[in-house]
Structure 1
Amino acid sequence: MTTSEVLLSADADGVRTLTLNRPQAYNSLTVELKERLLAELRAAAEDAGVRAVVLTGTGKAFCAGQDLKEHVGLLQANDPAPLNTVSEHYNPMVRAIIGMPKPVIAAVNGTAAGAGAALAYACDLRIAAESSSFLMAFANVGLGPDSGASWTLQRLIGLGRASELMLLGRKVDSAEALRIGIVGEVVPDEELTARVQAAATKLAAGPTVAYSKIKHVLAVAAQSSLDEALEAEDAAQGALGKTADHGEAVEAFVTKRKPDFQGK
């Protein structure tokens, strides 16, 4: 495990776990944390030994979003940095998560608000602790959504519900989050780490290139015509049919054994 003041990174069984580590500030996002997280996401994408990624937080929060104390302080000092953070930090982080060529799981251990919730929405899977909650708090501070929330949330729960949560700034507890589709699973708080690690380890042992193509064709289909989606599927299948993992799966089927995927 490598440790910094604001972020923890640990590898186990092909899984890289990135843990936001500012519990005293509900893991709110400072410039330092945003820059470190972006660098770690990019490193995970490039590391062939990493075949699944987990994003989580320490303490009672997953991530409370932008650190408003730092934000206000910089604005009062006439520092232009706060006005550039969407383009310099949030947009690249969301692109790094959504474009990650391997599965990303959000282990939502507590409050996820604003940009913090948006980071969870960008992940491929969301497993939440019973004590967790989600809050689209942008309107409460006179801002609009960022960090891809306008794109991701409505694809999870539909335009009507996404509009309600963003306009009213209403908190959603874990039970409602499961019911409306923000998360795929809710577990007791004390079981979250083990459950997420089990899911991530299973994914890390799977056909990584196929997972990457699945993510790609789903993204294409979400914003294209049927013909474009069919073409993307065709291209993906053509490429995947030549992979070592597909060959291994066929051989395993014929010999009636479990495939041993190498992520290639």
Structure 2
Amino acid sequence: MALSCIGRSIFIRQNKMVVRTLSSSKYLQSSSVDAKFETAKQQLNSFSNDPGNETKLKIYALFKQATVGKNTTDKPGALNFVGQYKWSAWTDLGDMSKDDAKQNYIDLVSELAKAEGSSVDAEPQQETETDAKVYGSGVLLVKTENQIMTVTMNRPERYNAITVDMYEGLIEILSDAANDDSVSIVVLTGAGKYFCSGNDLKNFAGITPANMKQVAMDSAVLLERYVAAYIDFPKPLIAAVNGPAIGIPVTQLGLFDAVYASDVATFQTPFSKIGQSPEACSSYIFPKLMGHAKACTLLLFNETYTASEAERLNLVTKVFPNANFQEDVRKEIEKMVKLPIKSLVYSKRLARDCEREMLHKVNKDECERLVERWTSEDCIKAVMGFLSKL
């Protein structure tokens, strides 16, 4: 789990944002603005250049103002740093109208598009509806089509390693999807060869003996919120494991309703190598899935399992050939989405409610143990030894 929430690029300078408010008389007719707004939404996630955190905050705030209106939500808690910055950026737009926010959004995306060599004036793609919210600093790509929301961890150059802001982004995505009537099923997958390599090593930056305890406690709060988002997600949740998975992307699979794996996928939780302990309720769920002995080989003894082995251990629902993996998974999910959504939700609730309280207790207990582990001498030595080999 991430051990540093301080001194990172996610915490952008807290300054007032100056956003141009244009007179509605200067706009195109409403239908034209709406069309360009939809095109800009679709175009945003296709950009390859990172516009920087300040620009992404502006995009987020303008999108919320354009689609929801003035911010009337409560300010996030003190430990939800990312949420506070987003809330402030949205609040700073004040009474700006939805139409004005749309035009500002279009103008801002248009400026980014010029750097990418494209144009917001291009015709929108009609077959795909894409959620243009800025999640996880832009490295969580979200596409909703035919009531299937696909969330792609898009850091292939870093093997989709998870940053603090990605944790926050995934929490927000699940919250939004839970309340979005256009979403029936959520799918999580990875870009490139890896599903996810666990926590980004940069998460360990900025820790000193003086702040170690507080950082560990703050990180445990984030982890508990993250896992709780999966425990409480009401709709079917599918994992499409396209490649190797290491650490928390493995342990959280026990909270999914179906796990499809490519035949090149592998599964490893090397916690004891770095003096840590399991998370995401895996200490409770994995023995139930696999039996105690097999769960221990994964959670305690650093065994790596292939996709076919993980299927035999009930961690994986079905294995597909890598060559057509995403297409084969899509066919399976398209069968599911034709089923009545209320039946799916109510059936999942019945299966989950009988142990929801236990899952939250296990989540809390695991996080408390991790605070002890992260600040222990053996964990510090193990992590330092691991990092020295890189």
- The one-letter code matched in structure 2 to 1:107 is A
Question: Is the counterpart of residue 148 in structure 1 residue 281 in structure 2?
Answer: yes
Aligned to 2:305: 172
Q: Conserved in 2, the CA contact under 8 Å of 1:51 and 1:204?
A: yes
CA distance in 1: counterparts of 2:220 and 2:340, whole angstroms: 34
Aligned to 2:220: 86
Aligned to 2:7: none
Aligned to 2:346: 213
- TM-score scaled by length of structure 1: 0.77
What do the CA deviations read for 1:91-126 (whole angstroms, capped 9, x no partner)? Answer: 323322232221111000111111111232221100
Q: Identity across aligned pairs (percent)?
A: 31
Q: Work out the number of aligned pairs and report it.
A: 222
SS in 2 for 1:146: coil
Question: Is the counterpart of residue 70 in structure 1 residue 202 in structure 2?
Answer: yes
How far residue 223 of structure 1 moved from its aligned partner, in angstroms, is 8.0
- The one-letter code matched in structure 2 to 1:187 is F
Q: Conserved in 2, the CA contact under 8 Å of 1:75 and 1:82?
A: no
How far residue 86 of structure 1 moved from its aligned partner, in angstroms, is 3.0
Aligned to 1:16: 149
Q: Conserved in 1, the CA contact under 8 Å of 2:178 and 2:234?
A: yes
Larger Rg: 2
What do the CA deviations read for 1:134-154 (whole angstroms, capped 9, x no partner)? Answer: 101211111001122223322
SS in 1 for 2:199: coil
How far residue 169 of structure 1 moved from its aligned partner, in angstroms, is 0.7
What do the CA deviations read for 1:164-212 (whole angstroms, capped 9, x no partner)? Answer: 2111111101111111211010011122211221222222221222222
- The one-letter code matched in structure 2 to 1:210 is S
Question: Is the counterpart of residue 127 in structure 1 residue 260 in structure 2?
Answer: yes
Aligned to 2:192: 59
Q: Structure 1's 35 and 221: CA in aligned 2 closer, same or farther, altered over 3 A? A: closer
Aligned to 1:200: 333
CA distance in 1: counterparts of 2:244 and 2:330, whole angstroms: 20
Q: Where does structure 2 lack aligned partners over 5 or more consecutive residues?
A: 1-129, 358-390
RMSD across aligned C-alpha pairs, in angstroms? 2.1
SS in 2 for 1:64: coil
- The one-letter code matched in structure 2 to 1:75 is I
Q: Conserved in 1, the CA contact under 8 Å of 2:164 and 2:203?
A: no
Q: Conserved in 2, the CA contact under 8 Å of 1:125 and 1:184?
A: yes
Aligned to 1:30: 163
Aligned to 2:82: none
- The one-letter code matched in structure 2 to 1:85 is S
CA distance in 2: counterparts of 1:175 and 1:65, whole angstroms: 21
Q: Structure 1's 45 and 223: CA in aligned 2 closer, same or farther, altered over 3 A? A: closer
CA distance in 1: counterparts of 2:150 and 2:171, whole angstroms: 14
Q: Larger % of strand: which? A: 1
- TM-score scaled by length of structure 2: 0.53
Q: Structure 1's 157 and 197: CA in aligned 2 closer, same or farther, altered over 3 A? A: same
Q: Structure 1's 160 and 107: CA in aligned 2 closer, same or farther, altered over 3 A? A: same
SS in 1 for 2:315: coil
